[in-house]
Chain A
Amino acid sequence: MAIQQISVFVENKPGMLLKNVQKISEAGINLRALSIADTQDFGILRLIVSDTERTKEVLSADNLVTTTRVVAAKMEDEVGALYTILKALGDQNINIEYMYAFTASEAYGAYVVMRVDDVEQAEAALHASGIATLEDADI
């Protein structure tokens, strides 16, 4: 159920993102999805990777790293796909803290990653509306 996301505290300075991405690449880890939230002082780099444990190991040497369970819902390539997803969650009064989209591969199609207050409830609501979600094994 749900997938692991890695969040990294990144100071708002040149080269900080590069340094982290380099480490991930050198460790032979594949980036599935990435999003950055930024403020004046710092950014939070959020990653979905092929090997969460290894990434955590590599980055936490000199970074603040935390893992969070997030929901990755499949988004059909059709009008109203995101609406269907958001409605399923909204109807259950589930709060979304943030979200970003990614395309896993031709075969998998597009997914939207959502940080919600209650992962189990969110997945149940999505499944009830016929929307598929990813699990760690899928990544």
Chain B
Amino acid sequence: MGRYYQPEIETAPRERILEIQNEKIVKQVRHVYENVPYYRHLMEEKGVTPDDIKGVEDIKKLPFLSKADLRDAYPYGLLGTDLKNCVRIQSTSGTTGRRVVAFYTQKDIELWEDCCARAIVAAGGTDEDVCQVCYGYGLFTGGPGLNGGSHKVGCLTLPMSSGNTDRQIQFMMDLGATILCCTPSYAAYIGESLAEKGYKPEDNKLKAGIFGAEPWTEEMRRNIEKSLGIKAYDIYGLTETSGPGVAFECEEQHGMHINEDHFYAEIIDPDTGEVLPDGEKGELVFTSLDKEAFPLLRYRTRDICVLHREKCSCGRTHVKMSKPMGRSDDMLIIRGVNVFPSQIETVLLNEGYTPNYQILVDRRNNTDTLDINVELPPEQFSDIVSENQAKERALEAAMRNMLGIGPKVHLVGPKSIVRSEGKAVRVIDNRKLHD
């Protein structure tokens, strides 16, 4: 296998890519208009018909979709085909507790796994590699996506899922894993654990890592590369568009190639919705060009980044996106899990607390920490210590249920949470996530 998984498309001339995109979008808009009443209604409101869309140039005429639409249309409102044609769901958290559920036909799975396979080959993967996937398997897209991509490349796949670091290290060393797929913070943690066990970077057989699902800096990249003795590649994706592999880094390690034959990217001004020219910083918007079951058009990712079209030395012709530089909403990514402050607020209200809380996020020993200070309402206060502590534990359990990760809850006195100009400061994020 060469340097590309699908060389014809990955290195296609720009005109060819545009041709493919134009052809696909015309079909896709018609598919959505005919099969997704929710989106047809949005188009009608905007006065757009499928006939108005003759190519990707016309995508800007289409209405946006946001996380709020996914919540309103939950669970089947954005489904683009009969359920009998679907073979899988994946899911991620939504803004107020209602999860995002994405559907896949077999063809959707194939194209997603192709994208992941491109990422693995770009990181140097071949059928002789041993690919250790320690993203979570299950509803989270990380594990299933890279697992499928690894199969397509023909790697020996170690479907480890997340956690149990001792076992990860045992398999890594005993079976000679050469490619590691996980979140960057977990990669850093594995690096530290290896060193603690007395292993030197050259003792493992790893050559590359494909790390994503959370923001990370160049400094983190250098640390991981040094501690594991590898080259570390970024990968990007979101459940709404399919999962990891929507964009991936090549050997240049400078921006991620977007798989433009499947996903059309725009950068917009998050306030006005206006499309910005290439090179300008704004919110990334994706239109899936050929997905069948969950064909989102103009989905607002809320990730802030820049698109670059300069020629890449790797030979790929697809546009590159920068690492996300932040969010245009208040979503936090903690240990690879999407967390919205509104979810925490929902739990507090459900449990009889006031929405006076503060979220403290930090990164200690390469692991994100989540602490939530909650003001204790007078009627909940007990003179018995254990009763108050039981309230903390009960809140932690309810939050874990809602968020999918466990925070530490601390009860604090009334009016003790810092308010700036009368408005409580909801989130204090002390991690350094962006360069």
**Chain A residues in the interface with B (C-beta under 8 A):** 5, 7, 9-11, 37, 39, 41-42, 44, 46, 62-66, 68, 97-98, 115
**Please, which residue of chain B has its CB at the minimum distance from the CB of A38?**
B385
Contact of B383 among A10, A41, A42, A66 (CB under 8 A): A66
B411 within 8 A of A: yes
B378 in contact with A98 (CB, 8 Å): no
User: How far apart are the CA atoms of A66 and B383 in the complex, in Å?
Assistant: 7
Residues on A with beta carbons closer than 8 Å to the beta carbon of B389: 39
Q: Which residue of B lies closest to A60 (CB)?
A: B378
B383 touches A5 (CB 8 A): yes
Of all chain B residues, the one with the shortest Cβ separation from A70 is B383
Shortest distance from the beta carbon of A68 to any chain B beta carbon, whole Å: 5
Judge whether A62 and B412 touch: CB under 8 Å: no
Interface residues in chain B, defined as those with a beta carbon under 8 Å from any beta carbon in chain A = 376, 378, 381-385, 388-389, 392, 410-416
Check if A41 sits within 8 Å of B381, measured CB to CB: no
From B387, which residue of chain A is reached at the shortest CB distance?
A97
Q: Which residues of A contact B411 (CB under 8 A)?
A: 9, 41-42
Q: Which residue of A lies closest to B412 (CB)?
A: A11
Which of A9, A62, A97 gathers the greatest number of chain B CB atoms within 10 Å?
A9
A-B contact pairs, 29 of them (CB 8 A): A5-B383, A7-B381, A9-B376, A9-B381, A9-B388, A9-B413, A10-B413, A11-B412, A11-B413, A39-B389, A41-B392, A41-B410, A42-B388, A42-B412, A44-B383, A44-B384, A44-B385, A44-B388, A46-B383, A62-B413, A62-B415, A64-B378, A65-B378, A66-B383, A97-B384, A98-B384, A98-B385, A115-B383, A115-B384
Q: Are A7 and B383 in contact (CB under 8 A)?
A: yes
Closest 5 CB pairs of A and B: A7-B383, A64-B381, A41-B410, A37-B385, A68-B383
Q: Which of B382, B383, B412 has the most CB of A within 10 A?
A: B383
Given known contacts A11-B413, A39-B389, A64 and B376 CB-to-CB distance under 8 angstroms: yes
A118 to chain B, nearest CB (A): 15
Q: Complex Cα distance A115/B386, Å?
A: 13
A6, closest chain B residue (CB):
B383
A interface, over-half SS: strand
> In the bound complex, do residue B381 and residue A39 qualify as a contact, i.e. CB atoms below 8 Å apart?
no
- Given contacts A9-B376, A39-B389, whether A63 and B413 have CB atoms under 8 Å apart is yes
Besides A42-B410, A44-B383, 11 other A-B contacts (C-beta < 8 A)? A9-B411, A10-B413, A11-B413, A11-B416, A42-B411, A44-B384, A63-B413, A64-B378, A64-B414, A98-B384, A98-B385
The chain A residue with its CB closest to the CB of B380 is A64
Inter-chain CA distance A66–B376, complex, in Å, is 13
Distance in Å: Cβ of A127 to nearest Cβ of chain B: 24
CA distance A46 to B411 in the complex (A): 18
Q: Which chain B residues border A65 with CB–CB below 8 Å?
A: 378
Closest-by-CB residue of A relative to B377 is A64
A11: chain B residues within 8 A (beta carbon): 412-413, 416
- Complex contact A66–B410 (CB within 8 A): no
How many Å lie between the Cα of A17 and that of B96 in the bound state? 39
A11 to B383, CA, bound (A): 14
Closest to B373 in A: A41
Nearest to B410 among chain A residues (CB) is A41
Once bound together, how far apart are the Cα atoms of A7 and B388, in whole Å? 13
Contacts of A66 in B (CB 8 A): 378, 381-383
CB-CB under 8 A from A68, the residues of chain B are 383
B375 and chain A: residue at smallest CB distance: A64
CB distance from A36 to the nearest CB of B (A): 10
Query: Closest Cβ of chain B: how far from A58's Cβ, in Å?
Result: 16
Cα distance A64–B416 in the bound complex, in angstroms: 11
Complex interface: chain A residues within 8 A of B385 (CB): 37, 39, 44, 98
Closest CB of chain B to A75's CB: distance in Å? 22
In angstroms, Cα B397 to Cα A22, docked, is 38
* Complex alpha-carbon distance, A12 and B412, angstroms: 9
Q: In the complex, A42→B410 CA distance in Å?
A: 8
Chain A residue with minimal CB distance to B415? A62
CB distance from B316 to the nearest CB of A (A): 52
**What is the distance, in angstroms, from B294's C-beta to the closest C-beta of chain A?**
43
Instruction: Give every chain A residue within 8 A of B382 (Cβ-Cβ).
Output: 66
Task: Report how far A63 CA is from B392 CA in the complex, Å.
Answer: 19
- Name A13's closest neighbour in chain B (CB-CB): B416
Contacts of A63 in B (CB 8 A): 413-414
Task: Give chain A residues whose Cβ lies under 8 Å from the Cβ of B415.
Answer: 62
Distance between Cα atoms of A115 and B385 in the complex (Å): 12
Distance (Å) between the CB of A65 and the closest chain B CB?
8
Bound complex: CA A46 to CA B381 (Å): 13
